[in-house]
C-alpha cells in the first residue's frame, strides 16, 4: 500500500501521480501506467490475471515499485528502466492525496481499424488482426471484468475519466461491453470518424464533458485519399456533423492535424481544415507531427507548422499540441504566434 502521508522530492510524472490505469500494447502484459513508447527499454507493465482482483493487485504492486525506484540508478531498477529515459519524468514535490484511479485508458491491441493512415505502423505490426479469437476474447473479458471490479469496489475517483482508443470503437467487437463499462463517466473517444456510431453519440449526449477526437490531417478529399488511403472524406465529415448534433458544448468535437511536410501542408488543405472547423463550430485545432518520420524533414515541418498557426490566428481560431511536439518545437511556435499577433495588431493600427 502507498503511504499517503509520504511527501518527498521524487522524479515523478502525471500518470503516476494521478493513478492512471492503462490497457495498452498487445495481448502480452497489457496492464500498465502509461502508453509512452520508450525505445531504450520496455515500459512498466504486468499481465492480466484470470481474476480481476488479482490483476488489480498486480497493478497496485507495479505502481508501488515504480514509485520506489524513482530516484535510483538505472542498473538497480527492476521494473522501471524505461522510466529512467522518459522525458516526461521531472523532479516534483510528490504529495499523493488519495489512491483512487483518475483515468482508465483502453488502448490495447489487437483491435480493428478500417483506416490505413500512411503514418501508422499498427497495420504492419498485426495490431488489427483479430483472427486469434480465443486469446483476443479472453483478454478483453479480463479487461471488462477488471473495469467492473474497479467500479464495484470503489477504486475509481468520483471524477474518473475514460479514454477509448483501442482501434476504432465504432467497429470494435467489444463495443457494447466497453460502452456499458463507461456508464455516464466522462470519456474521450479517439476515432477515425469513418463510421457513425449511435452508442458513442449517446455517450456524448449523456455527458457534456465527454468528447470525440478525429485526426483529419487534411482539408481536401484529394489529400484524404493519400493520407488515409480511403475514399470516404465527405462521409467522415457528414458523420462529424451528426456527432455535433449530439453535443451541447463546442469542445465535445475535437479535430487534430498531423502535419506531414510535402503531403498535407498545401494552402488548400490548411484553408480546407479552417472551413471544416467553422462548419463544425470547432474553436481549437490540435496540431501534431509524425513522430516516426519527421526528423529528416525538421526544417520543413517547422515552416509548415508556422503556416498552419498563422492561418488559425488570422481566422480567430486557437491551437494546442498533443505532447508529440518537442519542447523546442512548441516554444518556436509560441514565439512565432506572439510575433505574428503583434504584427497583425501593428498593421491594424
pLDDT band at 4 (very low <50, low <70, confident <90, very high): very low
Extract the C-alpha cell encoding 314. 488570422
Look at residue 227 and tell me whether its pLDDT is greater than 60.
yes
pLDDT value at position 69?
85
- What average pLDDT does this structure show over 196-206? 97
| Residue 19 or residue 226, greater confidence | 226
Say how far apart CA 225 and CA 345 lie, in whole Å.
39
- What average pLDDT does this structure show over 99-105? 92
Give me the percent of the chain exceeding a pLDDT of 90.
Answer: 66
In which order are the strands placed within the sheet that holds 101-108? 45-46, 31-32, 20-25, 101-108, 156-164, 186-191, 211-215, 253-259, 284-289, 318-321
pLDDT in tens, 242-271: 999 999 999 999 999 999 999 999 999 999
pLDDT in tens, 79-97: 888 888 776 666 554 555 5
pLDDT value at position 5?
45
C-alpha dist (Å) from residue 305 to 117, 320, 321, 342: 20, 12, 11, 18
Q: Please report how the helices 327-348 and 298-314 are oriented relative to each other, as an axis angle in degrees rounded to 10.
A: 40
CA 226 to chain CA centroid, nearest Å = 23
Look at residue 325 and tell me whether its pLDDT is greater than 50.
yes
Closest CA to 238 of 214, 217, 256: 214
pLDDT value at position 199?
97
Closest CA to 94 of 7, 2, 1: 7
Q: Is 39 helix (H, G, I), strand (E, B) or coil?
A: coil
pLDDT value at position 324?
83
Considering the chain, what is the average pLDDT of its residues? 89
| Residue 343 or residue 144, greater confidence | 144
Give me the percent of the chain exceeding a pLDDT of 70.
Answer: 89
pLDDT value at position 8?
53
What is the dihedral sign for C-alpha 61, 66, 70, 74?
A: positive
Cis peptide before 199 (omega within 30 of 0): no
Say how far apart CA 231 and CA 69 lie, in whole Å.
49
- What average pLDDT does this structure show over 90-110? 76
Residue 294 burial class via C-beta count within 10 angstroms: exposed 0-12, middle 13-18, buried 19 and up: buried
DSSP readout, 41-64? SPPPEEPPPSSHHHHHHHHHHHHH
Say how far apart CA 272 and CA 291 lie, in whole Å.
24
Amino acid at each position: 500500500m502507498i503511504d499517503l502521508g509520504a511527501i518527498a522530492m521524487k522524479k515523478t510524472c502525471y500518470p503516476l501521480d494521478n493513478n492512471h490505469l492503462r490497457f495498452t500494447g498487445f495481448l502480452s502484459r497489457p496492464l500498465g501506467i502509461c502508453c509512452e513508447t520508450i525505445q531504450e527499454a520496455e515500459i512498466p507493465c504486468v499481465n492480466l490475471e484470470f481474476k480481476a482482483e488479482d490483476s488489480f493487485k498486480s497493478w497496485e504492486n507495479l505502481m508501488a515499485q515504480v514509485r520506489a525506484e524513482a530516484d535510483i540508478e538505472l542498473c538497480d531498477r527492476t521494473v522501471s528502466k524505461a522510466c529512467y529515459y522518459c522525458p516526461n519524468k521531472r523532479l516534483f514535490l510528490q504529495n499523493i492525496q488519495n489512491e483512487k484511479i483518475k483515468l482508465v485508458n483502453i488502448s490495447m491491441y489487437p483491435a480493428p481499424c478500417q483506416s490505413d493512415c500512411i503514418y501508422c505502423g499498427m497495420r504492419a505490426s498485426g495490431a488489427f488482426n483479430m483472427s486469434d479469437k480465443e486469446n483476443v476474447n479472453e483478454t478483453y473479458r479480463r479487461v471488462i471484468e477488471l473495469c467492473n471490479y474497479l467500479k464495484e469496489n470503489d477504486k475509481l475517483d468520483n471524477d474518473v475519466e475514460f479514454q477509448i482508443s483501442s482501434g476504432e470503437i465504432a467497429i470494435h467487437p467489444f463495443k457494447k461491453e466497453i460502452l456499458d463499462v463507461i456508464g455516464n463517466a466522462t470519456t474521450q473517444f479517439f476515432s477515425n470518424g469513418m463510421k457513425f456510431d449511435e452508442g458513442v453519440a449517446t455517450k456524448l449526449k449523456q455527458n457534456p464533458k465527454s468528447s470525440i477526437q478525429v485526426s483529419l490531417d487534411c482539408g481536401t478529399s484529394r489529400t484524404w485519399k493519400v493520407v488515409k488511403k480511403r475514399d470516404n472524406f465527405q462521409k467522415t465529415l457528414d458523420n462529424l456533423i451528426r456527432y455535433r448534433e449530439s453535443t451541447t458544448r463546442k469542445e465535445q468535437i475535437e479535430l487534430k492535424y498531423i502535419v506531414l511536410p510535402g503531403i498535407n501542408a498545401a494552402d488548400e488543405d490548411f484553408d480546407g481544415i479552417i472551413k471544416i472547423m467553422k462548419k463544425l463550430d470547432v474553436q481549437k485545432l490540435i496540431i501534431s507531427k509524425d513522430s516516426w518520420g519527421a526528423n529528416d524533414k525538421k526544417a520543413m515541418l517547422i515552416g509548415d507548422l508556422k503556416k498552419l498557426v498563422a492561418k488559425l490566428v488570422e481566422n480567430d481560431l486557437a491551437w494546442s499540441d498533443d505532447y508529440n511536439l518537442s519542447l523546442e518545437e512548441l516554444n518556436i511556435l509560441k514565439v512565432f504566434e506572439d510575433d505574428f499577433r503583434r504584427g497583425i495588431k501593428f498593421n491594424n493600427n
